Amino acid sequence: MAEFQKQGIDIELTEDVAQGNYSNLAIISHSTSEFIIDFATILPGLKKAKVKSRVILTPEHAKRVLLSLQENITRYESDIAKIEIPKSHVATDDPIINMGPMGNA
């Protein structure tokens, strides 16, 4: 088990959580009081995806995650390489298309 100290908070990372879950599909929904992100895995040739993890956030925390992720992507692209997204995977207003890999519902 690993422990981290961030801003005076002890953060415990158990071995099973540290293994992580692979996800190539994220479904994002929201209500007036929370954002819900379901991380799933969908395999080629299968029409059913299995949700591996669900994260529920307050709107304020969701925005903090968005800003932190943007900052990390900017650093990644500066240090390693620009991340290219194939045109067929760009989210649109069509809810069916948004159900695709890493889209939002």
Q: Please report, for the chain, the start and end positions of each structural domain, with discontinuous segments joined by +.
A: 22-98
Among residues 99, 17, 98, 100, the alpha carbon closest in space to that of 53 is found at 17
Task: For residue range 22-66, list pLDDT tens digits in order.
Answer: 999 999 999 999 999 999 999 999 989 999 999 999 999 999 999
3-state secondary structure of 42: coil
* Phi and psi at residue 30, to the nearest 5°: -150, 160
**Collapsing DSSP states into helix, strand and coil, what is residue 52?**
strand
The sheet with strand 35-41 has its strands ordered as 25-30, 35-41, 50-57
User: pTM score, two decimals?
Assistant: 0.72
What number is the average pLDDT over the span 14-19?
A: 94
